[in-house]
Chains A and B, each alone.
Chain A
Amino acid sequence: DVKVTQSSRYLVKRTGEKVFLECVQDMDHENMFWYRQDPGLGLRLIYFSYDVKMKEKGDIPEGYSVSREKKERFSLILESASTNQTSMYLCASNRQGANGNTIYFGEGSWLTVV
């Protein structure tokens, strides 16, 4: 089975802190994603990576950056956390190629910024 692992399930950080959310997938997928999930807004794409060191902005990249130094690992970075970044963050991955390849999700990281 495909496994997407988000190492931190629950985090509480202070305003202004630098925050790292880590994600690892074990299926050699080329594509990796970071989504943010908020009630009433569904999932919104923050950043997308289609290869090591390659990234594209999603719909809401402001206040975030990403790093992909190895194929299996995709990190989301909040340079200076703010209270409006309190949310659930979902990492996902899938195989590149034909459209419609299933996207597999991690269990999510709940981030609270105080």
Chain B
Amino acid sequence: AQSVTQPDIHITVSEGASLELRCNYSYGATPYLFWYVQSPGQGLQLLLKYFSGDTLVQGIKGFEAEFKRSQSSFNLRKPSVHWSDAAEYFCAVGLTGGGNKLTFGTGTQLKVEL
């Protein structure tokens, strides 16, 4: 069965600093990979997704992620964090032919210091 690991439960960065959130997956084939963001008390919003092609994916709000097959990773990055980026971030993997069901990681809570 597929699984997703987000090794960092909490991360604190200063506003304007760069950000990298880690995500590793376990899956036998090439997965479909997603990053979602959840603001407090809200549902999840899709930031970006990868399922084929260019391994560097651009998303909304200035985020990008890079798929590295050799490392089974799909890390999320942003060059300069804004205070409004404080939220919880979830990495997810989708099964090929799996009816679009997603398996989520446990999330990384991002705090931004002003």
Contact = CB atoms under 8 A, between A and B. Distances in A.
A34 B51 CA distance: 23
Nearest to B96: A99
Interface string B37-51: 000011111100101
Interface in A69-114: 90, 92, 94, 96, 99-108
B106 A103 contact: no
A58 interface: yes
Interface stretch (A12-20, A41-49, A60-68): A41-49
Given A40-B106, A43-B90, A99-B32, A94 B44 contact: no
Interface of B: 6, 9, 32, 34, 36, 41-46, 49, 51, 90, 92, 94-107
18 contacts: A40-B9, A42-B106, A43-B92, A44-B104, A45-B101, A45-B102, A56-B99, A99-B96, A99-B100, A100-B49, A101-B100, A103-B46, A103-B100, A105-B44, A105-B45, A107-B42, A108-B41, A108-B43
A103 B102 contact: yes
A40 B94 CA distance: 20
B94 A99 contact: yes
Q: Which applies to chain A's interface (DSSP): helix, strand, loop or mixed?
A: strand
A25 interface: no
Given A4-B43, A90-B44, 8 more contacts: A42-B105, A43-B44, A44-B104, A45-B102, A48-B99, A99-B98, A100-B32, A106-B43
A85 to B, nearest CB: 19
A25 to B, nearest CB: 12
Q: Which applies to chain B's interface (DSSP): helix, strand, loop or mixed?
A: loop
Contact of A58 (B44, B100, B101): B101
Contacts of B106: 40-42
Given A90-B43, A108-B43, A50 B107 contact: no
A58 B101 CA distance: 9
A11 to B, nearest CB: 15
